[in-house]
Amino acid sequence: MQKSGFAEKDIDYLAILHMKKSAHEFVLRELGLNEEQSVYLDEYGHIGQMDQILSLELALEENKLNDGDIAVLVSAGIGYAWGAITVKWGKSEGEN
C-alpha cells in the first residue's frame, strides 16, 4: 500500500486467497474492512493462484468493485512465497 501511495484506510476491496472463515474475518477486521469489501470463496474453496482473480470476478458480479476503487490482492504460497498488489480499478482518467 505504501509503495502505491495509499494507506489501509483507502482499501475499497480486498481479494485474498481462500482460508478458513474465521481467518478471513480476522484479516478483514485487522484492516478495518467489512464483509462487503471482500468475497469469501466458500462455494469454491482454495484453487491456488486463481483465488484472487475469482474474487475479483465475483466482486464485479456482486457490485462490490467499481471504477476508481482501490483493490488489494494478496496471495501466499506454502509459507515460502507471497505476493501483493494494489490496483486502482477501472479506466484511467481521460480513457473512454
Q: What CA–CA distance (Å, rounded) separates 39 from 82? A: 20
Residue 24 lies in a domain: yes
Q: What CA–CA distance (Å, rounded) separates 94 from 29? A: 35
How many Cα atoms are found within 13 Å in the side-chain-facing hemisphere of 25?
A: 4
Q: Which domain holds residue 64?
A: 2-88
Number of domains in the chain: 1
The tens digit of pLDDT for each residue in 70-94 reads: 999 998 777 677 888 999 999 766 6
Instruction: Give the global pTM.
Output: 0.88
Residue 34 lies in a domain: yes
Residue 23 lies in a domain: yes
CATH code, 14: 3.40.47.10
Residue 13 lies in a domain: yes
DSSP state of 37: G
Residue 30 lies in a domain: yes
The tens digit of pLDDT for each residue in 6-27 reads: 999 999 999 999 999 999 999 9
Q: What CA–CA distance (Å, rounded) separates 11 from 31? A: 8
Residue 33 lies in a domain: yes
Residue 96 lies in a domain: no
Amino acid identity, residue 29?
Answer: R
Q: What CA–CA distance (Å, rounded) separates 42 from 56? A: 15
The tens digit of pLDDT for each residue in 32-82 reads: 999 999 999 999 888 877 899 999 999 999 999 999 999 999 987 776 778
